[in-house]
Structure 1
Amino acid sequence: MMNFKRFIPGTVAILSIVFMLLASSCQKDFLEKPFSVTFNEDSVFAKYENAQKLVFDMYALKPYYLDLSVQTVATRRLNGSLLESATDFGCSFRLNANYFTHKFNFGTVQAENLTNQVDGEDSYPDHYKTIRKAFTLIERIDEVPDAPANQKERIKAEAKTMIAFNYFELMKRYGGVPLLKKRLNPGTDDLNIARSPLSDVYAYIIQLLDEAIVVQEFAPRYDNNDFGRLNKAFAYGLKAKAALYVASPLFNTATPYLNFGGNNKLICMGSNDPNRWVTAAKYASDAITYCESNGYAIINTANKNINYTISYQYRPNEGNTEVMWGTMKVTNPNMAYWIPRGTPFTGGFSSNLASINLIEKYQNKDGSYVNWNSVITTPPNDPTFPYKNLDPRFDQSIMYNGQTLYTGVAIQYYEHETVALHGNNSPAKASTQWSHQVRKHVYGYENRTITGKTWQPMCAIMRLTELYMIQAEAQNEAAAAPDATVYGRINTIRNRSDMPNLPTGLSKDDMRKKIQDEWGIEFVFEEYRYFDLKRWKLGDVFKGPVYDVKVKKLNNNTYTYTKYKYEDRPFYDWYYLHPLPPSEVNLQYGLIQNPGW
């Protein structure tokens, strides 16, 4: 069980938050009310303008993974790391020991630090704080006398979607969790809540989303000043995503990753039911139909070299017809975490690096692969030779040797046969660790400090492409062999980036591998890989080996690219699910910890 007393803020605590929000809104008539104990929850719901501030506060803990900052005393989630750096696809810069993802790579993750501290992967209590705010709105918004009726209905649907989203985020990390279905009253309710079975959490997610979807006033999308608020399209999409997770091998089994005895139901669905894939495929199809009937569309402009970036970086008013929910938090964040080490990138940290394990998954535009297992020798003065024909998504996602980031500035990761001529961004001259790093999210803004261009990176929490991927994966698993729907969804995603169709005649197993690779490429550095490997129950992939390449420039102006093993990494079966915070478990009121932790 879990004791929720500490998650129920007292009147003063609640109203302090709302008061600060109201103060920032400069509403003079409301601020003239004395700051006293008479300023209570009833005051918030006495006026629509005030209640809206609580709606906005419901988003205070929204997901956002692009606010990078590494410090000795952490102030950011993962302390400057991107989550891909905890997978076979990447690594954070090792000479700075403070990046949190080092703990995954070294096998030194501590349970409390992982799930209940500012630099961990998740803050378990934050989900319940948001859930409580949402239930408060559901229960009291109808009391607001001047709130339009359509807005009351919209806010209730929005709050239900927010609750469902937070339960999904809990489910994918922890399995079954304590399930609250209302705002608890410490005077009348039992605050010691046991973990619910995984199947019950999933069922409640679907129930909430179905309740939100039928609300006519809940719009398919919100743009302009309302962009960033939840909408009906996202509710449809989240149904599909939740169904995908319970259909996947980690949860869709009677035999969980570790024997949990009588508590197995907390970490698996209790059976291997192929129909769960059928359900996921149907939910994805329903979501796609709804989205495409309401103005959403896969980005497919004539410029195949930018479609991908539009899909995850642009806002709807900039032409992105694909993003279903995006979050923003910071404007002009510190470029140091995104740019290379060495000149002319003054102060660059190369914070998050890309492995050859990732680079190898990118095909050439003809569908072939670069052979990184043999030494690659380029023609003279052609440093980008290995990359020239790669999938356009590669150049938009990765920084590499010889790449021109902006006019007159090319990356020099190479070490030279003549020591005095090492590249400016090389290991010898700039302490660079690997020969590839993240470009995605900063693409097009690399010279922002020169141009002064405003950079407000968006986390695309869901986009239409994901629904295509969910339907393709689920349909492939549900059918005896990949059908036209599977091929059609994957090929649409590939074609818009100038990549060819997949070869016909693939077996179910071969298609599964193609789909997994497509997930990795399309959603790289968007926090998918870490959870996808887990839901596929592919923990061994985390172990590596993880590879890099050494780049060398010879005196004859050719370059060599030599793949080498960087390291092996640990992965323990208990890593498949996060631990609940030990500080909660150790209070000994009955909350059951996940196995292995």
Structure 2
Amino acid sequence: MKIIFYPIIALLLATSSCKNVLDIEDLNSLDESKVWNDPNLVNAYITNLYPLFGNWIAGADGNSEQLVGISFPLDAVTVNNTAYKAWDYTTIRKINTAIHKVNESTGLSSDVKNSVLGQALFMRAYMYFNMVRHHGGVPYITVPQDLKKDDLQTPRNTTKECFDLLIKDLDAAIALLPATIEKGSEDYGRIDGNFAVAFKAKVLLYKASPQFNPSNPYGNAYWTEAHAANKTAYDRLKANGYALTEDYAQIAIQEKGPEVVFAVINSYPNKVANWDNGVRPGSESRGPASAVPSWDFVKTFPMKDGKLFSDATGKYHKTNDDFLQSYWENRDPRFDKSIVWNGKIYEVSGKAGKRQYTSVGIAADLDNFGVNPKAKTPSENLSRYSGFFILKNSKLSLKQTEVETQYDVDFVLMRFAEVMMNYAETANETGDFNTALDIMKQIRQRAGIEIGSDGKYGITASNRSEMRDAILAERNIEFCFEGHRFWDLRRARKLNTLNNTTKYGVEAIAINDNGTEMDLDVAVDLAKSYNLKENQFKYSVLQVPNTGNKVNLVPDTYYFFPIAQSVIDKNSKIQQNKDWGGTFNPTME
């Protein structure tokens, strides 16, 4: 009897009937033919691969300007470390095994085969795409290699070959997957044709991008291909009922909403995530927040009219000094739904009327930020905090004791707004400025930005180049804390935006009506009853972290990360990328 080493524990995760599973006499020694001819076991196997889609990560945008922290100190990425390497051939082998075994199975119905193969082909493309956007072309292996019999010295496919194979896998998956899995279906959370079509469009957007076409970033022929795919995705999903969730704050909190294209299912107590525990102030969590917004990012949110505070043509124009003292006033409504600031109403854990404070000497030790010498206890958060916290996607009903174990909001991996913005980008680059403008207006209308006298919601772009910049800036706000920003800048070859930059936070010190500093004991008493408001403070900017390395270094070599030297040592046919001492060209050129 052949012994199979697949993760049989996955049987417990299967969404199908358990009847046949419970009939198996020995789960540690199974005839392989039984596994691949039993639909329950096959579905269990493919279910056990779904963790590859990830889950909520509080620091998903930690490598951009959105969050405090220096992700790229000197030599953060080298050929000898593991940082920013994507080389998961263990999961690829599991996927290839499923494809191979299901194809040769004689005991599965065609419906089961198609379902499993469609999911597996998509997963393979998803995994390889992540490798390609990290490194450029990689060995695109499509068979389950035998460690003893097969030649494992496989060279890298060119980047163009990888994109071609990605699209081939995705097209095959789309042909096999159910067109739509309804939000009320027991299969909700599995891959369907809508997600696959939208993801294919995203892959082609990357293929056309400046990252992969540095010498011809916006005139290459791949933009036409990308635009066709993105228009198809947009039209299809819109026809199938996908739409922007009315309230930006409810995109994830309202599970199975109209905007969700694909979500990783979380359900207490079986599966939870760590979002709230990572973003809440320490006094409302199980320890210090692990990710907090930077002042640099806070400034990038538009005002209510859709223009930056510094735009002299704006209705809410302010000088830098005036803005610092009233930054929360008249902002894009997404600001209020994404950021917690000093003195903001923050009714967490069921505390009606609660305000969150960050001022040292007033706020709890795990919440404070600042260097006010009058505070009895100095802040210990000067290297990790900024005076701001993340509100977006928080489940405020959770009590402090519950945030670590009961956050079970579904992780939204792709939403319709991304499909829209991808389409807007390709439309703009192929000459359809008006479509790009219309989509931008829809995004801002949902956000709650004022329409303005010209009906453009503060959008001032009037040509292709200006719209390109406007789309990138809009993505920064719309998808904040969702893990898009660094990859967007890299795809657009704008890493110089992050290079040689520092980050800042804002200290708050309570003041009297005449502007003098308030006695801290008085301020503490007011704060206890939440009667100390944000306009009763003066604000100043502090650099963070306050010790150690303070500058992000993001050189052009980071447009393609190196292959780990340990991989090359094991496989002499793997060439290193040309910017890292090798000869391999990771671009499409």
Matches within 5 A, 1:45-64: 45-64=36-55
Once the two structures are superposed, residues 492-541 of structure 1 have per-residue CA deviations (whole angstroms, 9 ceiling, x without a partner) of 11111212324356222221221111111111111111111111111211
Q: What secondary structure, in the 3-state scheme, does the structure 2 residue paired with 1:225 have?
A: coil
Pick closer, same or farther for the CA change 1:355–1:149 going to 2, 3 Å.
same
What is the letter of the counterpart of residue 20 of structure 1? I
CA distance in 2, matches of 1:27, 1:314: 34
What is the letter of the counterpart of residue 358 of structure 2? Y
Pairwise CA RMSD of aligned residues?
3.1
Q: What secondary structure, in the 3-state scheme, does the structure 2 residue paired with 1:551 have?
A: strand
What percentage of aligned pairs have identical amino acids? 23
Alpha-carbon distance, 1:222 to partner = 6.1
Alpha-carbon distance, 1:391 to partner = 1.5
1:325 aligned residue (262, 273, 276): 262
Q: What secondary structure, in the 3-state scheme, does the structure 2 residue paired with 1:526 have?
A: coil
CA contact (8 A) 1:326 1:461 kept: yes
1:288 aligned residue (207, 221, 234): 234
Answering whether residue 569 of structure 2 is matched by residue 583 of structure 1, we say: no
What is the letter of the counterpart of residue 42 of structure 1? S
Alpha-carbon distance, 1:178 to partner = 0.6
Answering whether residue 13 of structure 2 is matched by residue 21 of structure 1, we say: no
What is the letter of the counterpart of residue 529 of structure 1? R
Once the two structures are superposed, residues 331-352 of structure 1 have per-residue CA deviations (whole angstroms, 9 ceiling, x without a partner) of 26485432214xx436441211
CA distance in 2, matches of 1:272, 1:253: 9
CA distance in 2, matches of 1:147, 1:514: 51
Q: Larger deviation: 141-150 or 194-203?
A: 141-150
Equivalent residue, structure 2, for 1:181 = 142
Q: What secondary structure, in the 3-state scheme, does the structure 2 residue paired with 1:560 have?
A: strand
Answering whether residue 86 of structure 2 is matched by residue 114 of structure 1, we say: no
- Count of residue pairs brought into register by the alignment: 517
Q: What secondary structure, in the 3-state scheme, does the structure 2 residue paired with 1:239 have?
A: helix
Equivalent residue, structure 2, for 1:403 = 344
1:538 aligned residue (464, 489, 494): 494
Alpha-carbon distance, 1:445 to partner = 4.3
TM-score by length of 1: 0.78
CA distance in 2, matches of 1:409, 1:345: 12
What is the letter of the counterpart of residue 400 of structure 1? W
Equivalent residue, structure 1, for 2:221 = 275
Matches within 5 A, 1:245-264: 245-254=206-215
CA distance in 2, matches of 1:421, 1:30: 59
Pick closer, same or farther for the CA change 1:347–1:187 going to 2, 3 Å.
closer
Alpha-carbon distance, 1:326 to partner = 1.4
Q: Larger deviation: 458-467 or 539-548?
A: 539-548
What is the letter of the counterpart of residue 52 of structure 1? N
Q: What secondary structure, in the 3-state scheme, does the structure 1 residue paired with 2:82 have?
A: helix
Equivalent residue, structure 1, for 2:124 = 163
Alpha-carbon distance, 1:185 to partner = 4.1
CA contact (8 A) 1:107 1:571 kept: no
1:366 aligned residue (305, 319, 327): 305
Q: What secondary structure, in the 3-state scheme, does the structure 2 residue paired with 1:550 have?
A: strand
Once the two structures are superposed, residues 528-566 of structure 1 have per-residue CA deviations (whole angstroms, 9 ceiling, x without a partner) of 111111111112111224333232222337322334554
CA contact (8 A) 1:296 1:322 kept: yes
Pick closer, same or farther for the CA change 1:527–1:410 going to 2, 3 Å.
same
What is the letter of the counterpart of residue 431 of structure 1? E
Answering whether residue 309 of structure 2 is matched by residue 309 of structure 1, we say: no
Pick closer, same or farther for the CA change 1:321–1:563 going to 2, 3 Å.
same
Q: Larger deviation: 183-192 or 25-34?
A: 25-34
Unpaired runs of at least 5, structure 2 = 311-317, 371-376, 452-456, 519-535, 545-549, 582-589
Pick closer, same or farther for the CA change 1:423–1:536 going to 2, 3 Å.
same
Pick closer, same or farther for the CA change 1:296–1:326 going to 2, 3 Å.
same
CA contact (8 A) 1:162 1:230 kept: no
CA contact (8 A) 1:313 1:460 kept: no
Q: Larger deviation: 445-454 or 503-512?
A: 445-454
Q: What secondary structure, in the 3-state scheme, does the structure 2 residue paired with 1:485 have?
A: helix
Once the two structures are superposed, residues 142-199 of structure 1 have per-residue CA deviations (whole angstroms, 9 ceiling, x without a partner) of 5556644223212211211111111111111111111113333456643211111111
What is the letter of the counterpart of residue 45 of structure 2? L
What is the letter of the counterpart of residue 166 of structure 2? I
What is the letter of the counterpart of residue 561 of structure 1? Y
1:468 aligned residue (415, 420, 424): 420
Greater fraction helix:
1
Q: What secondary structure, in the 3-state scheme, does the structure 2 residue paired with 1:352 have?
A: coil
Q: What secondary structure, in the 3-state scheme, does the structure 2 residue paired with 1:413 have?
A: coil
CA distance in 2, matches of 1:240, 1:105: 34
Q: Larger deviation: 40-49 or 330-339?
A: 330-339
Answering whether residue 40 of structure 2 is matched by residue 44 of structure 1, we say: no
Equivalent residue, structure 2, for 1:392 = 333
Pick closer, same or farther for the CA change 1:243–1:227 going to 2, 3 Å.
same
Alpha-carbon distance, 1:34 to partner = 3.5
Unpaired runs of at least 5, structure 1 = 1-10, 67-80, 93-101, 116-120, 256-270, 301-306
Once the two structures are superposed, residues 377-401 of structure 1 have per-residue CA deviations (whole angstroms, 9 ceiling, x without a partner) of 89xxxx8x42132122112221211
Pick closer, same or farther for the CA change 1:359–1:394 going to 2, 3 Å.
same
CA distance in 1, matches of 2:471, 2:434: 14
CA contact (8 A) 1:471 1:486 kept: yes
Answering whether residue 538 of structure 2 is matched by residue 560 of structure 1, we say: yes
CA contact (8 A) 1:221 1:324 kept: no
TM-score by length of 2: 0.79
Once the two structures are superposed, residues 291-311 of structure 1 have per-residue CA deviations (whole angstroms, 9 ceiling, x without a partner) of 1222322223xxxxxx22332
Q: What secondary structure, in the 3-state scheme, does the structure 2 residue paired with 1:180 have?
A: coil
What is the letter of the counterpart of residue 446 of structure 2? R
Equivalent residue, structure 1, for 2:436 = 486
Equivalent residue, structure 2, for 1:33 = 25
